[in-house]
Structure 1
C-alpha cells in the first residue's frame, strides 16, 4: 500500500467505503435524504464527505456547510457550559438543586394518579446538580409516552416551543412529581434544559449569549446558534420523518421552521443548529483535552471527570434505565456528566475502546470521541427518529476498519 493512501494512521481507501455504504444502502433507495460524515484522528480531519440532498423538495445538495438541527447533541455543549461555572467555584455537584431553584424544595415522587390529581410521596433525598447532569434527577420527556408523568409533560407542552421559556419550564416542573427518587434510576429527560437554566442563573447571561461568549467564539464556531439568521437560511436543511416502507416525509420545512424565527425557548437539551465543521471544532477541543488552537473551554481534569461513568456502582445503562428512549445503544455504556461513556466493548457489540464518549440527536446526528485511538467521528443527517436505522453502529464498523496504526 502506498503512503499516499494513509493519513494519520488511517487507510483512506477503507474510509471511502463509508460513502459507498451510505449511497448504496440509504441514499439511493430513498431511506435517507442526506449524509455528511467527518472522521478525524490525531487532531486532523482525515476524511470528510457530503452526500444526498439537504432539501429534497428544492433539490438542494448537502454540503460541508449545511446547517443541521442537532437536537440532543446540544446536551454536551450545555454540560460543558455548566462545568465551566463549576470550575469557577459557582456550585458543587452535590449541591441540592433547590439551593438555586427554591420552588423545587418540596418536589415529590409519583405514586399514582393522572394530571392534575397525583398521589405522591417524599423523595429519599433531594435532587442534586449531578443528578441533572447524569439524567438521574427523576425528570422525564413528554415524547417518551411511557408514564402518566410523560402525559402531563405533553399536556403542558413542556417539550415544545409553544410560548415556553426556560423560566416557565422551571415553574411548571416545580408543580409536577418526579418519576423516581433522585439518584435511584436513569431516565432520559429535560434535565439538561434545567442545566441550561442554571447556566443562565449562575452566569447572569441569557444562554445563547453565554454559549457565544464562552464556547462558540473562542472555538471559531460561526455557524452554531438557536435561531438560523436570515442570511444563512439557504444553507438550512429540511428535516424528515421516517415512514413505514422505509420512506420519509417532510417534517420541518427550513423556510417555515420555528428554528428560523426568534423564540423564547433556549433549549439546552435540544435547541441548537450547527454544521459538521463547527461541531467538529467543539468535539476536537474535547478530544484535545479541552483546548483547540489556543482557546481552552474546559480544564483537562474537569473533562476527565466528566468522561467517567457516574452511574451507581459503575453499572451500565440497562441496569438502571427506566425509559426505553435514548440516543445511544445501552449495552456496555455508562453515563458521565453530559455524555454516554463506553464501559464494556464486548457487551456493546460494536467495535470501540473503553472510555469512548459521545452522544446523538433525535434527527440522526451523532458524534463520538475515542481517546485511546485519538479518533473522533461526526455524522449529520435529518431523519426522525434516530432509531430508524442502525447507521451509527455500521459507521463504527466502517471507521474502525480503516485504522492501520
Structure 2
C-alpha cells in the first residue's frame, strides 16, 4: 500500500481538511478554531486542531481540548436507556405514564397563552419509543415557534440554575403537548426525560450511571457533566455568531457554569468531551457495540437502534413540524437516538445508506458509516449550529479521500 494510503484513505486528500476550514472559516474570523478526527477500520487515520480555543487569551486549539457537545449527549443517553432495555427494565411500547404516573392524562394544545391554555385530550398514549424518536409531542423553548415553547421559556425548562430532572418532569406534566404522540416529529426535551428514566430505572444519578456503564468501560476520561479543575486549562471558549459573521464570547471557559457540577443533569445536552473521547464512543457504535474488548451494547440492539423508526419509514421532512438544522432533513430518518440516512441521493450530501450520527448546538458533529467502517468527529464552539454548512463540507472532504 502506498505510504500516502492508510486504511483505504488517501492522507494527501485528508490533509485538505485543515487548509480548507482555515481559509474559509478560521482566518476570516467565522470560527475561533476546530478539532477533527477521521478513523477507518478501527484506526485513527487523521486528526488535527487549528485556530484558537480562546480568542480573548490567544490560546491555540489543541487536539485534547474540551468542548460543550450539547446534543451529542443524546446518543449517550439513548445507549444508556437501551442498556437498561437489554436488562428487561422496560419495553419500548410501554406508556411513559407507567414510570411517570403524573403523565397519565396528557393533553394537546388547542389555543391560548400560558397559563390560560385551551387543550384537548391526546388521541394516542406517549410511549418510551416516542421519547427516543422525538415523536412525543414535547418541544424545546429555544425553537420560538409556538405558545407551548413560549411556556417552556417562561418556566426555563431548557435548563436553568434551579432546574432539576425531577422539576422538569413535574412541570411538563402541567403543560400541553404540541401534538398527539407518534403523529409528528419535533426536536425536544424528550432525551432529558429519558435521562430522568435512566435514573429511575437504574437507581443511580445520570452522572454516576454514565461513568460506570459507558465512560469507564470505554476509558472516556475527559467526558462528563463538569469540567474538573485538572481539565480547566483545556476547556475551549464558546462563541455566538454575530451579524457580519463576527464572533461574540458566549461562555468564558474561566467563568463557565460547566466548572461546577450541575443540579440539572441534561441527558439531552449537558456533556463536555474531546474528539478522542467521543471517538471511543462512536467507534464502539461502529464496531457493533464494543471497543477494545469492552462491550457497552449488544450488536442486535444497536442494529435495531440505527434503523429508521419513523412511521412508514418516512424521512424527517415528511413528519417534522417547524424548522430544525442539526441534520439535513431530506433522505434522513430517525432511529433510537440519532438520525439515520435512508436515501443518499435525496439527502444531497455524500455518504452511505444506514449511516447515523448527530450534532450539537455549538456546531459539533459526528457520524458513523458502518458500510465504510468510518467514524468522523468534528468539534468547534459556535452557536447556532446552522451558521455555516460545516457538516456537508466536511463530508465532501472526507468521502473524497476514500480510495
Q: How does 1:1-400 map to 2 (within 5 A)?
A: 3-400=2-399
Q: What is the CA distance between 1:145 and its match in structure 2?
A: 0.1
Question: What is the CA deviation profile of residues 50-80 of structure 1, one whole-angstrom value per residue up to 9, with x for unaligned ones?
Answer: 0010111111111111000000000000000
Contact 2:132 2:337 in 1 (8 A): yes
Structure 1, unmatched stretches of 5+, are none
Question: What is the CA deviation profile of residues 334-355 of structure 1, one whole-angstrom value per residue up to 9, with x for unaligned ones?
Answer: 0000000000111100100000
Give, in whole Å, the separation in 1 of the partners of 2:215 and 2:326. 24
Contact 1:237 1:254 in 2 (8 A): yes
Q: What is the CA distance between 1:262 and its match in structure 2?
A: 2.1
Q: What is the CA distance between 1:326 and its match in structure 2?
A: 3.8
Contact 1:188 1:323 in 2 (8 A): no
**TM-score, L = length of structure 1:** 0.99
Give, in whole Å, the separation in 2 of the partners of 1:9 and 1:369. 16
Give, in whole Å, the separation in 1 of the partners of 2:272 and 2:202. 22
Give, in whole Å, the separation in 2 of the partners of 1:121 and 1:341. 33
Q: Aligned pairs, how many?
A: 403
Give, in whole Å, the separation in 2 of the partners of 1:46 and 1:227. 30
Give, in whole Å, the separation in 1 of the partners of 2:342 and 2:261. 41
Contact 2:325 2:385 in 1 (8 A): no
Give, in whole Å, the separation in 2 of the partners of 1:161 and 1:294. 39
Corresponding position of 1:403 = 402
Q: What is the SS of the residue equivalent to 2:3?
A: helix
Structure 2, unmatched stretches of 5+, are none
Give, in whole Å, the separation in 1 of the partners of 2:103 and 2:217. 34
Give, in whole Å, the separation in 2 of the partners of 1:368 and 1:275. 15
Contact 1:188 1:326 in 2 (8 A): no
Q: What is the SS of the residue equivalent to 2:191?
A: helix
**Structure 1 stretches (4+) deviating beyond 2 angstroms?**
none
Q: What is the CA distance between 1:325 and its match in structure 2?
A: 1.8
Contact 1:287 1:369 in 2 (8 A): yes
Question: What is the CA deviation profile of residues 300-337 of structure 1, one whole-angstrom value per residue up to 9, with x for unaligned ones?
Answer: 00000000000010010000000212411101100000
Q: What is the CA distance between 1:292 and its match in structure 2?
A: 0.5
Q: What is the CA distance between 1:246 and its match in structure 2?
A: 1.0
Q: What is the SS of the residue equivalent to 1:388?
A: coil
Q: What is the CA distance between 1:161 and its match in structure 2?
A: 2.1
Contact 2:161 2:263 in 1 (8 A): no
Q: What is the SS of the residue equivalent to 1:35?
A: strand
Contact 1:161 1:263 in 2 (8 A): no
Question: What is the CA deviation profile of residues 177-196 of structure 1, one whole-angstrom value per residue up to 9, with x for unaligned ones?
Answer: 00000000000000000000
> Aligned Cα RMSD in Å?
0.7
Give, in whole Å, the separation in 2 of the partners of 1:124 and 1:17. 53
Question: What is the CA deviation profile of residues 100-157 of structure 1, one whole-angstrom value per residue up to 9, with x for unaligned ones?
Answer: 0001011101111110011111111110000000000000000000000000000000
Q: What is the SS of the residue equivalent to 2:183?
A: coil
Give, in whole Å, the separation in 1 of the partners of 2:26 and 2:54. 13
Give, in whole Å, the separation in 2 of the partners of 1:15 and 1:118. 54
Give, in whole Å, the separation in 2 of the partners of 1:308 and 1:221. 26
Give, in whole Å, the separation in 2 of the partners of 1:236 and 1:384. 16
Q: What is the CA distance between 1:263 and its match in structure 2?
A: 2.0
Give, in whole Å, the separation in 2 of the partners of 1:91 and 1:164. 26
Give, in whole Å, the separation in 1 of the partners of 2:163 and 2:325. 24
Give, in whole Å, the separation in 2 of the partners of 1:401 and 1:135. 33
